[in-house]
Amino acid sequence: MKLSDLATDPVAEQAGVPVEILPGLVVTVRSTATPAYRNAQARLLRPLARLVGAGLAIPAEKQDEIAARLLAEEVLCGWQGLADEGGQAIAFSRERATAIFLDPAHRRFRDLVFEAANTAETFRRQFVADVAKN
């Protein structure tokens, strides 16, 4: 395999790429490898530095909160095909995404969004080119 076949598209990583995470549910995600994501992660973890420095674990609830905020603020750019229980489309907003990601009942959705954003294949140059064609 050529090294160039593995190359990612840095513009797509920062701008976002649509990914069908389940049949009929498309999310547009930016990569978790971007400087913006890493800077936001550092900002959210900074208040916990003493806890970590003392060798203590970050509580699971706090880890979930940080993950939800990072995904809503830095990763997720939009969605298509997400509906409420009545079948009405749920309009995307960062606030709505944060609320959904903070709800433990919607952990699977949060995990699927994270997986799409954290997978290098999502941002591989050939994949991005194929998405642009369709």
Split into its structural domains, the chain has a count of 1
Q: Which domain holds residue 30?
A: 3-133
Local confidence pLDDT in tens for the 134 residues of the chain: 788 878 888 998 999 999 999 999 999 999 999 999 999 999 999 999 898 889 989 999 999 999 999 999 999 999 999 999 999 999 999 999 999 999 999 999 999 999 999 987 788 866 666 666 66
pTM for the model stands at 0.86
Total residues found in the chain within this entry: 134
What CA–CA distance (Å, rounded) separates 51 from 80? 39
